[in-house]
Amino acid sequence: MLCETPFLPTLADLLRDGSGPGRFCLVGGAVRDAFLGRVSADFDFAAERDPTALARAFAVRTGGHWFWLDKSRCQSRVVAAGLTFDFAPWRAPTLAGDLAARDFTINAMAVDLAGLAAAALFDPLGGRRDLEAQLLRCCGPGVLADDPLRILKGIRHAVQLGLTVEADTLVAMSAAADSLPLCAPERVRLEIWRILASAEIDRGLLLLAECGAGKVLFGDRFTAVLPGIRAALHRAGAFFAALLAKDESVAGYLHAPVEAGLNRLVLLCWCRLLGSIDPLLPLSLARRWRFGRAALSRIAALVEIPGHFRQELAMLPRRPRAIALWARQFGADPVDLLLMAGLLDESASRVAADRLMPFLDELCKLPDTARIPPLVDGRWLESELGVSGTGIAGLQATLRQLEISGRIASVEEARSYLLENHPKKG
């Protein structure tokens, strides 16, 4: 299977000229995924000596882009055809030492590219045995203390691959959890997003609580309110499933990107999860973890909406512009706000989905829900009614409210209303 991986034979060919970086191996997740029959998009290589020249030659051969990750450590990356290839020298004098310094045994297997066709496995820590036993085990007692982010990475592996965390590894996770705030926020948030995106999110929450990481990251109340968090996210999962059962195209809404690594589904789960702990936590923690500007503005809108917004939604006319304009009153993305309304609906999931789907169907008729042009532009208002400046803005605001209430629905109706109620000045 590894022989069929794009570009690996190319690397093997480059190594045959004898001027390579010594022993050169594919390591980590790609080896693990090959045994699981999973397709990898990221490949890590460990070399006996500096592999930079090989990485550059590989980029030229594949038409990829080469750049440094850490020049001082001779670590570089090649991106080619949407795949990522990382090159680094061993972090120890031997390959066995390099593998022992990695995080989990399932990620500490290596295949020498010089013998790629034979796919000879080097597995000094028993990673393949653990993988077959569906066990997550640390490579050594200090690897989590060396990089506490590995706690979250381990939980992600457990929920994505269906692994049981070995008892000593869980103890090590608990011992290192207090050091998680020392990790870069960008790395922490990405791992949490991946856990929230998992189909086994409930198990991820239980592991976060069991090792103490949830309390460290989300506050002292995390464990106490965990039953409520789990119930809210279970409700969210059932609601999204009900929507998808009605219309598979809803997946396009749910998986629409907000920023790199974050889509709308995870953003909504973030708001529900942390809002169950503290209504202010989704936004405050997003700021602390340095979410992007777009994500911050969307979270801010969702956590600040008034409690009566669901009642207002039920009274809206079934027109796409009216729905979008109504949502924009709260500063919210219209789809975000509709889906949040469904999440907060206490009815059965199928009933909530039935109520919401007509509004989503209407929104899809708009080419852009973020920019809704006024029914009547400023030039018409100035020429026909003699208004300008703030007067134009005021009349357009009036028209928006009339659209939201259903009293007008077209340019003609808007102009008729204005001519009748706001005769030309002068």
Considering the segment(s) 2-129 as one domain, its CATH architecture is 2-Layer Sandwich (3.30)
Write the pLDDT tens digit of every residue in 339-385.
999 998 888 999 999 999 999 999 999 988 888 999 999 999 998 88
pLDDT at 130: 97
Q: How confident is the model at residue 425 (pLDDT cuts 50, 70, 90)?
A: low
Model pLDDT for residues 204-215, shown as the tens digit of each residue: 999 999 999 999
What is the pTM for the complete model shown? 0.91
CB within 8 Å of 58: residues ≥ 6 apart? 7, 10, 11, 14, 64, 66, 78, 85
Reported as a single tens digit per residue, the pLDDT across 57-78 is: 999 999 999 999 999 999 999 9
The reported pLDDT for the residue numbered 406 is: 93
Cα(236)–Cα(307) distance, rounded to whole angstroms? 18
Residue range 105-133: average pLDDT? 88
Model confidence at 108: pLDDT above 70: yes
Residue 17 has pLDDT above 80, yes or no: no
Q: Which CATH class is domain 134-224?
A: mainly alpha
Ranges of each domain in the chain: 2-129, 134-224, 231-372, 378-421
pLDDT for res 12 = 83
> Beta 110-112 vs 121-122: how paired, if at all?
antiparallel
Tokens of 4: 């069929």
**Among 82-86, 150-154, 216-220, 329-333, where is mean pLDDT lowest?**
329-333
Task: Taking residues 297-303, report their average pLDDT.
Answer: 94
